[in-house]
Amino acid sequence: MQHPAFDEFKRAFAAKNFEQALQYVDQLREEFPNSAALLWHRANCLEKLERYSELPAALEAAIVKLPDYLPARLMRVEYSYWYVEHAYPMIDGEDEADDDNLPSEVVAVRAQREQLQTQLEQRNEADLRFILEKDPQHAQANFLLSNLLRSVEQHSMSAEEREAMATDLLERAIASNPKNPDYFLTRAAHHRSLAWCDSSEYEGASELPPHIVKTFTGICFLRQHLEAAAQDYRQAWSLSQQPGHALKLATTLHDLGAYDEALAVYDDALAKMPEDAPLREYFIERRAMSENGGAGEREHMAQMLLQGLENDGKDQSLADNIAAQAILGAADAIRRGASVQDALAANISDDPETMRAMNLARQLLNLANEPAPELAEVDAGEYPSYQRSFANKTEKAAEKIGMHKICDAEAMGLFQRLGQHVMLRFYRDDSGEIGMASFTMKHKWPGMVAFLILFLSGKWKAHAMVECVTTFDDGTLISTQPESISPFKYGGGVILRKLAKNVSVQELVTVHKELVADYKLQHPEAKARVVNDLAGVEARWIEGQDIKAAYRKSIDYVSDEELRTMLGAHYDSLADKIRAQIKLMTA
């Protein structure tokens, strides 16, 4: 007969009342201090309660008593990050330290973390190999060891040996548990990475070899790997029915030129998606790209090229006319099926400065014509570790000063511009009038304006931002942010305060609150927008876009000071050409 308290523990755990279940476990441990099983049950309760910082001690205690218990070893691997957090937590001032000028104590603790991380990777590998010795078909152990071998930077095995073993381990994981979509997603992503090939090898080729797929944007893939990726994405979507998996499948099918299949996947996902789902409009927009045998994407790109070319009947200068005809020619070539790369190469001026001016003008106009953000709540675990790390660092600082996290989200409407997925973490103060957002991104291809700024200033690295915002019903936007690489300034209805690059979150919020308070004193009739959820964040973002756009248009999109800052030594050769292109595109 079992102890009554253990029966109560089982009932509480089954009912997902994990706090009560943990109380029963601790009560039982007082009576049975040598029970190994209770140590394991305690670790399980802590995991369910998301008290991850307490897991290392609980797991080590359980493994001492149960060294051959495979679930405990597996959990230790899955939560190894918290061993680092537990051993070397953030020290005072670290979250506000300048990465370019770190204090010696911060440098020391980060070195200790790296050393421990290396040790944990070795221990994780040993744990996973121990599990596989006992149970060679253990799906999750095979999966985790496969990932580990592909991610470690230093190892006794050669890169080729590790890759071969990682491939074999992932195949075993799928064979052991063919119902886990994560395994298929990982294999699909690996196939897609292997599919990339050097497009320059096929430039100017009248006909591509059958094993090569070339998208209309000019990217080349190895067909075999892209087809394998599509097959795995299809399996993941079938198993999970998660929209994100459908999107990856449809995108891959589109790249393969299987447009009808891509449309079928979009339609299947949309049929299963609620009418008010945040991602619905994004799916509809992406679906349009695959319509008419892929012509939807070609038309979309052609329209992007043609934006701003319409005029009011005024005569154009010869130079303006040549530029306009070049864009029209490129748009027509894309509609006829040419890749973007080929269309631009055939229609854009050979003069590199003219080409830069045309692209810069278009991007400057985009500042006043940003698409709606289309914010969608996301799982932070699906984003790169450097994004999660920055978000977590900012959240710790925000919590100390009473800011409340709203959620993590991605601006789906800006994905095409950014060229990468960027997670934003949103916050509010008690009143809801003051919002804060944080994000970081590594520059891949952020657009010509950002590229030139970064290239000319030598700042081609990850860019992080924390910004406080408040909008008022009189058309005023107050924004407080650290100094950044952006050369753009604002006036009119925009009150922009830039602080030191390494300003702390506390000082940032304090200054912003003072600006808001001062504005209220001077404009007692103005009411601040109150935002407590993601829908409110979306509305305030769009309101801010409209206010900024009005200012951009009031100064003809860019000031001379901004052009001088942005172009530096290239001002004399590019500024007039950029102004001419802006005039042409807005005529």
CB atoms within 10 A of CB 585: 22
Residues 27 and 121 in one domain: yes
pLDDT digits (tens, 9 = 90+) for 177-190: 999 999 999 999 99
Tens digit of each residue's pLDDT, the chain (587 residues): 478 888 899 999 999 999 999 999 999 999 999 999 999 999 999 999 999 989 999 999 999 999 999 999 999 999 998 888 888 888 877 777 677 778 888 888 888 988 998 899 999 999 999 999 999 999 999 999 999 999 887 788 898 999 999 999 999 999 999 999 999 999 999 999 999 988 777 776 678 889 999 887 778 899 999 999 999 999 999 999 999 999 999 999 999 999 999 999 999 999 999 999 888 998 998 899 899 888 887 777 777 777 655 544 343 443 454 455 556 656 766 776 766 666 665 446 556 666 677 667 767 877 887 778 999 999 998 888 889 999 999 999 999 999 999 999 999 877 655 556 889 999 999 999 999 999 987 644 334 344 444 333 333 344 688 999 999 999 999 999 998 767 788 889 999 999 998 899 999 999 999 999 999 999 999 999 999 999 999 999 999 999 999 999 999 999 999 898 888 888 888 889 888 877 755 64
166 shares its domain with 248: no
Which one of 259, 285, 311 terminates a domain?
285
State the alpha helices, DSSP H only, in 15-48.
Answer: 18-31, 36-48
Count other C-beta atoms under 10 Å from residue 133's C-beta: 10
Q: In the 8-state DSSP scheme, what is residue 66? A: -
Residue type (1 letter), 517: A
H helix or E strand, kind and range, residue 134: helix 104-134
Q: What is the pLDDT of residues 110-135, one digit of tens each?
A: 889 889 988 999 999 999 999 999 99
Name every residue whose Cβ is closer than 8 Å to that of residue 255 and which is 6 or more positions away in sequence: 213, 215, 219, 221, 226
Pairing, β 476-482 against β 494-499: parallel
Does 278 share its domain with 321?
no
Q: Are residues 392 and 349 in the same domain?
A: no
CB 406 within 8 A of CB 533: yes
Sign of the C-alpha dihedral computed for residues 28, 29, 34 and 39 taken in this order: positive
Burial of 358 (0-12, 13-18, 19+ CB in 10 A): buried
Domain coverage including residue 277: 184-198+210-285
Same domain, 257 and 344: no
pLDDT confidence of residue 433: 97
Tokens describing residue 136: 């060679």
- Report CA-CA distances (Å) from 101 to 104, 106, 459: 9, 10, 16
Q: CA-CA distance, 17 to 74, in Å (whole number)?
A: 24
Total count of residues recorded for the chain: 587
The confidence score (pLDDT) of residue 449 equals 42
Residue-level pLDDT at 161 = 93
Residue 73 lies in a domain: yes
Q: How far apart are CA 551 and CA 367, in angstroms?
A: 10
CA atoms within 13 A on the CB side of 500: 9
In this structure, the answer to whether residues 417 and 500 fall within a common structural domain is yes
Residue 96 placed within a domain: no
> Phi and psi dihedrals of 263, rounded to 5?
-60, -40
Clarify whether residues 552 and 578 are in a common domain: no
* One domain, residues 447 and 500: yes
Using the Cα atoms of residue 190, residue 272, residue 416 and residue 501 in order, give the sign of their dihedral.
negative
Residue 385 in any domain: the answer is yes
The structural domain count of the chain equals 4
Co-location of 531 and 463 in the same domain: yes
Give yes or no: residues 456 and 548 share one domain: yes
Residue 329 has a pLDDT of 53
> Is residue 98 in some structural domain?
no
Chain centroid to CA 207: 36
Inter-residue contact 540 to 529 (CB < 8 Å)? yes
C-beta pairs of 559-562 under 8 Å, 24+ apart in sequence: 559/489, 561/489, 562/487, 562/488, 562/489
**Residue 562 falls within a domain, yes or no?**
no
pLDDT at 328: 61
Task: Copy the structure tokens of residue 483.
Answer: 């100094």
Residue that terminates a domain, selected from 266, 285, 304: 285
Distance CA 393, CA 406 (A): 16
| pLDDT tens, residue by residue, 496-530 | 999 998 899 999 999 999 999 999 999 999 999 99
In a domain, 254, yes or no: yes
- Looking up residue 273, the CATH number of its domain turns out to be 1.25.40
179 part of a folded domain: no
Within-domain flag for 97: no
Closest CA to 148 of 54, 80, 88: 80
Beta bridge partners of 495: 478
Q: Work out whether the CA dihedral 25, 29, 32, 34 comes out positive or negative.
A: positive
List of long-range contacts for 32-37, beta carbons under 8 Å, 24+ apart: 36/62, 36/65, 36/66
Residues 78 and 220 in one domain: no
Residue 370 is given by DSSP the state P
Q: Tell me, yes or no, whether 279 and 304 share the same domain.
A: no
Q: 200: buried, middle or exposed (CB in 10 Å: 19+, 13-18, 0-12)? A: exposed
Rounded to whole angstroms, how far apart are CA atoms 199 and 105? 47
